[in-house]
Amino acid sequence: MTQTLFVNGRVLDPRHDGPRDGMAVLVEDGTIREVSDRPISSAGAERFDLGGKVLMPGLIDAHVHVIAAFADLAANTVQQSSLAAIRAGHIMNAMLMRGFTTVRDVGGADRGLVEAQQLGLIQGPRLVISGKALSQSGGHCDMRIRSDDRTPSEHRVGAMGRLCDGVEEARFAARDELRKGANFVKVMANGGIASPTDPIHMLQFSRAELLAVVEEAVNYGTYVSAHLYTDVAIRRAVECGVYSLEHCNLIESATAKFAADKGSFAVPTLITYDRLAIEAASLGMGPDSVAKIETVRKAGLESLSVMHEAGLRMAYGTDLLGAMHRHQSGEFALRARVLPALEVLRSATTLAAELCGLAGRAGIIEPGADADLLVVDGDPLRDWSLLEGQGAHIPAIMQAGRFVKHAM
């Protein structure tokens, strides 16, 4: 039995209004055993005096692509799988060192990466995955340029997504990704930025195709996540039973309220557009993609206000690619421009944990929860820069009860 005792800390559990002073937390074999404002006695525990530093849950990013080593999505699709996995290991390690102990991959990561992390072959966040995202021909996962005459059957599966057309192909693709270990199913239901031939307003997949994918996910006991920007596409997806709404930059009030009433989640990803506006061209994205960025970037902050006022639950997401992964923690300060600080923190802890199927296990500090913990130099609710700087202000990171960083 391995025990670790944190004393003299300020415990920041997102279910409370702020840090609680003078707290002690006992960890035993990967699980939080005791949390108290009184001394905890444990003769066998390794003891750490936090000296008033903040102890908080590990962060959760609910929209990542760990195999996206390049900003150019087409470049990611032609990677050899072994090389992509090695690159993913480096990307995941950097995420963990920023304090993200769990991430939800929405297109690309497979069961092999999940197991590599679980076995300790990769030191990175716990992975919750969709497998390959599903796309129609000419949709957001179709990287063929207009002059490419290959048929879909010759370009069916890429590193991050797979093409499927018609109800039966969509149904099979959903079943196949779940068979291979996906925790949920991702569909591309709207036009995208990084794909070469689909404008933002384009509706993707028919209602019949979306309904078939949702049916397969529900039959399996899980849900569907959808790439979405426009209000029309979002409402249509919710009507078809889609649970997790990614991006949502152009959502309007009535649709946000409709989605909230249906119990859906939204996962905004503002930081990726903020950085794409600056870095996209220099990182190799084509002019068609660069031209589409401003359409969604300008509406991003307003969409947060719309969803907040509608009561639509929002989880933290970033959707960064290639060299832009380093900006993963910048989403906090962006959201805090229009949202209460506590809601921003909950988006990357309790709410993201619920979306990842980890409610009660992650994103909280209480007995029985997983010991995914961060020691932070101060209160991030007052200063979001404490979560930036590639973990510079996070002297200790514990994952499943084991220190993966210890510089206290």
Cα 73 from Cα 273, distance rounded (Å)? 15
**Contact (CB, 8 A) for 40 and 5:** yes
pLDDT of 154 reads: 47
Sheet holding 313-314, edge to edge: 161-163, 133-135, 185-188, 224-230, 244-250, 265-267, 313-314
Domain 3-58+363-406 CATH assignment equals 2.30.40.10 = yes
Question: 198-203, long-range: CB within 8 Å, 24+ apart, which pairs?
Answer: 198/138, 198/139, 198/140, 198/142, 199/292, 200/229, 200/230, 200/292, 200/295, 200/296, 201/230, 201/232, 202/139, 203/232, 203/233, 203/236
Cα 46 from Cα 48, distance rounded (Å)? 7
pLDDT of 355 reads: 98
**Contact (CB, 8 A) for 172 and 164:** yes
Which parts of the chain have pLDDT scores under 50? Answer: 154-155
In DSSP terms, 60 is beta-bridged to 102
Pairing type for strands 396-399 and 402-406 reads antiparallel
How wide is the angle at C-alpha 341 spanned by C-alphas 336 and 343, nearest 5°? 100
Domain boundaries, the chain: 3-58+363-406, 59-355
Joined together, the tokens standing for residue 41 give: 């006695």
Residue at 129: amino acid letter: I
User: What fold characterizes domain 59-355?
Assistant: TIM Barrel (3.20.20)
